[in-house]
Amino acid sequence: MITKSSSPSLPQTFSMAHPIILVTGSTDGIGKATAAALLSSGAEVIIHGRNAKKGQNVQRELKEKTGRRSPDLLIADLSDQNQVMQLAQDLLSHYTRLDVLINNAGTYEKERRVTADGVEMTFAVNYLAPFLLTHSLLPLLKKSAPSRIVSVASTAHEDVDRFDWDNLQGERHYDPWDTYARSKFADIVFTYLLAQNIDGSGVTANCLHPGVVNTKMLRSAFPKMPGIPPEQGALTSVYLAVSPDVAGVSGQYFDNQQPVRSSALTYDRWVQELLWRKAEDITKIGSD
């Protein structure tokens, strides 16, 4: 499902004129705050959510909040690979350009659940969905170059110091935090290897830690943990999406709008390639 709208020009402080930006998981939390900030700056934003009614309410809310026209809306359940592919197809059928893809959608599952594709839910939504969506949209991103891919990761990845490849999806033992941390670790190594694979294409790929943000997901997972407002948690996503300061910067992990080192294990090429091949096998996407 998609609804179309136009948008005004961006201020000259941005590196791209009239950027078209897709923000996944943008009907709540960090994603909605990211979309609002980008809309306020004049970008043409495509928001995404799972529920059409909620998405339409957010369209109206963002229009009223930003004083801009309603953002476009895509509906898809990212735990379902067929719907991820349909989301990409819906976008490709309506747009001839995509300047920025922000892989923001995520989940934290207290109990192990399996998707319709037979994949553990956290691994499916947090890692396989951005892997599949990015690959599906990569030809358009390359055509639109210079363009950017931004993925929301987490410092949770630092708790991953080894991989039990036989328990990658919690098949033998499920711990919600460990599973979440592995999925965010996978987002980071995907970014690093993707940046190498697309080097010279005009497309950059970076990832980030948004901070501990007061979102519905945090309140569900850790009710007593304090968090920063979503508007603050969105700052690094917005920075990586449109700031001229990072034009041409690729393959980096950012925290508080600064490039920082992720954990040592994320730079292990063998781990990077094995996680990539796992995603290829499950999503049935061929190698670049």
Domain ranges of the chain: 2-283
pLDDT by 10-residue block (mean), the chain, 288 residues: 37 58 97 97 96 97 92 98 98 97 97 97 98 98 98 97 93 95 98 98 98 78 81 97 97 98 98 97 78
Q: Which two tokens stand for residue 13?
A: 């402080």
Active-site amino acid positions: 180
The confidence score (pLDDT) of residue 8 equals 35
| 3-state SS class at 203 | strand
Architecture of the domain whose range is 2-283 = 3-Layer(aba) Sandwich (3.40)
Each residue's pLDDT tens digit, 167-209: 999 999 999 999 999 999 999 999 999 999 999 999 999 999 9
Q: Which two tokens stand for residue 215?
A: 């979102």
Please report, as a single letter, which amino acid is at residue 16: M
**How far is it, in rounded angstroms, from Cα 73 to Cα 93?**
14
Who's near 144: CB < 8 A, 6+ residues apart? 20, 97, 98, 99
The confidence score (pLDDT) of residue 216 equals 75
CB atoms within 10 A of CB 254: 22
